[in-house]
Chain A
Amino acid sequence: MSYGIIAGIMFAGMVGLLFTGQRLFLVIGGVAAIATATLWGTGGLDMLAFGSYNVIGWWTLLAIPQFIIMGQLIARSGVGEKLYHALHLWMGRVNGGLAMGTVGLVALISAMSGLSFAATVIAGTVALPSMLKRKYDKSMVVGLIPACGSLGFLIPPSVVLIIYGMIARVSIGHLWIAGIIPGILLAGMYIIYIGIRCRIQPHLGPALPPEMRASWGEKFRALGAGIAPIVLIFLVLGLLFMGVSSLIECAAIGAVGALVITAIERRLTFNLLKTVMDESLKSTVMIMWLFMAALFFSSVFDGLGAARSIENLLRLAPGGDLGIIIAMQLSFFLLGMVMDDTAMLLIVAPLYIPLVAKMGFPLVWYGILYTLNCQMAFVTPPFGWNLFIMKSVVPKDSGITLADIYKSVIPYVGIQAACLGIVIAFPQIALWLPSIIFPSG
């Protein structure tokens, strides 16, 4: 039996077992361990220990729990309400202005948090009720929030890009900077879409009536809400990009900064701290155990020469090297319908990255493509994480169903696909900014 067939059986076994709903890290690790023991005997299982010790040696991983705790704190700190209030005052007079303001709010929150859920939760609990009260049409806004909530993947600090950077062995600073322009582009596309639709159909997002508009004094006072977030963003990202502090130090500054902001907002209680610690432990432990299992799986897969089989399979795609990249994106999109983003990254990325490198494409660019794809995966029905998060935060009495959210998110998925297409066609959108900031490469 050829190694290609064995690799195929292994992959099929894994996918089959995934559908049983067993815990992901146990399925991946178990299939790989059984394959190792059958193929190479018990000595092959040494990889279990060495693979894990290898992961343990990556110091950069320490940044992950600290960014997680930063996001958890920001989501509960109350800065979201204040920022939204300011955006509300400034944007209220435009048709669809509150929805555009929501995009801005999400982009700002994303720059203060490494995970995407914080922005979705804040926008869903703060912006959504206010928009519904102002007679914004639900078919436009309930899909917008989960869709732009996933901007957090792209806008630094981003935990997804840290994990990608560790697997692909590329600089995380490069990746983060590369994500900025595509992130702004995507946010801009959402805003333009809202603007055009509300111009054609003003009933979707009516402007505030003149008597409810704020005076200039109020508007400027509301801007004070932006001070703390901007200081935090500067301390975390500014110091990193200027080369003053390292990635892990930035994560620590972010975690401590978020703690200080929560205290200033008078939300800091012992119960809040306990919830935050609990959630952070769960996310970190889950990611790390999955990380160890997935890297073990991919090293077994590598040992079988599966990379070549995958390459042969992908070579069937028309259009040469670029065709392969597009075929990879399609496979991400399909997998993303049933898989979680971290799992997808950990299982599939190690298989694709060597091939991408061999074809001579920049791995930083490929990481951005993956991340854009992740955003789509996060909101494509039927299994989009952000859609479920959204459903869990919509007000109970609003009568919004999951079907409403599914229907509403479709145009935004189209926008994300268009943005992905643009970045594939013009790699400079991702690569230009890093080349300016790190001229030596």
Chain B
Amino acid sequence: MKKALLSYVNAIGWFNERLGKGAGYVIWGLAGLMFYEAICRSAFNAPHLWLPEITQYIFWGYVFLGGGYVFLHEGHIRMDALYSRWSPRRRAIVDVATFSVAAFYLGGLLWKFSYYTAISIMAGERQACGIHTYVGPIKAIMVLGIILVLLEAVAFFIKDVHLAISGKVLE
């Protein structure tokens, strides 16, 4: 049992680590495209119709696929006035206690996002302006990002439960 849980925690962590490291590079693509557009548009008066949509998709892929990585590295701010003074075990106990609230939000996000993504794909929803790209793929990527954050949150929950019960870090 313990072994299975540990391999789950490690596997999710491994995947999010790789994906996040990869997603980090995307910022250069975004800045590069916008820089190129700045020159084309203001110097040569030749803006690109596809650019707003594509850069927007890149940005939201960046934000959603980076979600699990940032979660893994504790990048999300906490109000740590009290939290930072507690022992690791006490932190784990409190995090376990508040997990239901967190899970409710992430679960709700996953449910509604996947529902409307499915509708979007089935209906063949397209952007209303620009080059009318299909919206389905980027919405699916967002769902994937939410799933990864949820899986990472569960991995943290497992680690916290273990620490809370046994007083030892899961390893």
Which chain A residues have a beta carbon within 8 Å of chain B's beta carbons?
Answer: 17-27, 29-34, 37, 45-46, 48-49, 52-53, 56, 59, 61-62, 65-66, 69, 239, 244-246, 248-253, 255-256, 274, 277-278, 280-282, 284-286, 288-290, 293, 338-340, 343, 382-383
Can you list 21 pairs linking A and B with CB atoms under 8 Å apart?
A20-B94, A21-B84, A21-B86, A22-B101, A22-B102, A26-B105, A37-B108, A48-B112, A49-B109, A52-B109, A246-B38, A255-B27, A280-B24, A280-B27, A285-B69, A286-B77, A289-B67, A290-B76, A293-B105, A338-B79, A383-B81
CB-defined contacts of B105 to chain A, threshold 8 Å: 26, 29-30, 32-33, 293
CB-defined contacts of A277 to chain B, threshold 8 Å: 24-25, 27-28
- CB-nearest residue of chain A relative to B25? A277
A277 CA to B3 CA in the complex, in Å?
A: 34
B35 within 8 A of partner (CB): yes
CB-defined contacts of B5 to chain A, threshold 8 Å: none
Contact A65 B59 (CB under 8 A): yes
Residues A245 and B38 in contact in the complex (CB < 8 Å), given A62-B56, A66-B30, A338-B81: yes
- CB-nearest residue of chain A relative to B52? A59
A290 CA to B84 CA in the complex, in Å?
A: 21
**Closest Cβ–Cβ distance, residue A20 to chain B (whole Å):** 5
Contact A62 B59 (CB under 8 A): yes
**Closest Cβ–Cβ distance, residue B152 to chain A (whole Å):** 11
B2 within 8 A of partner (CB): no
Contact B83 A21 (CB under 8 A): yes
Contact A284 B81 (CB under 8 A): no
Contact B104 A30 (CB under 8 A): yes
Contact B81 A20 (CB under 8 A): no
Number of A-B contacts (CB under 8 A): 183
Q: What 9 pairs across the A-B complex have the smallest Cβ distances?
A: A21-B83, A252-B34, A30-B101, A249-B38, A29-B105, A26-B102, A49-B112, A277-B24, A282-B75
Contact B38 A252 (CB under 8 A): yes
A249 CA to B78 CA in the complex, in Å?
A: 33
Contact B94 A289 (CB under 8 A): no
Contact A339 B31 (CB under 8 A): no
Interface bits B49-71 vs A (CB < 8 Å: 1, else 0): 00010011001101100110111
A380 CA to B80 CA in the complex, in Å?
A: 16
A182 CA to B98 CA in the complex, in Å?
A: 42
Of the residues B76, B82, B97, contact of A24 by C-beta under 8 Å: B76
- CB-nearest residue of chain A relative to B71? A23
Contact A286 B31 (CB under 8 A): no
Residues A26 and B70 in contact in the complex (CB < 8 Å), given A65-B27, A277-B25: no
A34 CA to B97 CA in the complex, in Å?
A: 16
**Closest Cβ–Cβ distance, residue A264 to chain B (whole Å):** 17
Which chain B residues have a beta carbon within 8 Å of chain A's beta carbons?
Answer: 20, 23-25, 27-28, 30-35, 37-38, 41-42, 52, 55-56, 59-60, 62-63, 66-67, 69-71, 73, 75-84, 86, 91, 94-95, 97-98, 101-102, 104-106, 108-109, 111-113, 115-116, 153
Contact B104 A33 (CB under 8 A): yes
Contact A340 B77 (CB under 8 A): yes
A61 CA to B62 CA in the complex, in Å?
A: 13
Contact B82 A21 (CB under 8 A): yes
A249 CA to B38 CA in the complex, in Å?
A: 5
CB-defined contacts of B76 to chain A, threshold 8 Å: 23-26, 286, 289-290
CB-defined contacts of B108 to chain A, threshold 8 Å: 33, 37, 45, 48
Residues A34 and B31 in contact in the complex (CB < 8 Å), given A282-B70, A282-B75, A338-B79: no
- CB-nearest residue of chain A relative to B101? A30
A281 CA to B67 CA in the complex, in Å?
A: 9
Of the residues B28, B80, B115, contact of A49 by C-beta under 8 Å: B115
Contact B94 A285 (CB under 8 A): no
Contact B35 A65 (CB under 8 A): no
Contact A27 B66 (CB under 8 A): no
CB-defined contacts of B56 to chain A, threshold 8 Å: 56, 59, 62
Contact A21 B55 (CB under 8 A): no
- CB-nearest residue of chain A relative to B139? A53
- CB-nearest residue of chain A relative to B63? A288
Contact B91 A281 (CB under 8 A): no
**Closest Cβ–Cβ distance, residue A288 to chain B (whole Å):** 4
Of the residues A34, A49, A252, A286, contact of B70 by C-beta under 8 Å: A286
**Closest Cβ–Cβ distance, residue B99 to chain A (whole Å):** 8
CB-defined contacts of A285 to chain B, threshold 8 Å: 62-63, 66-67, 69-70, 75
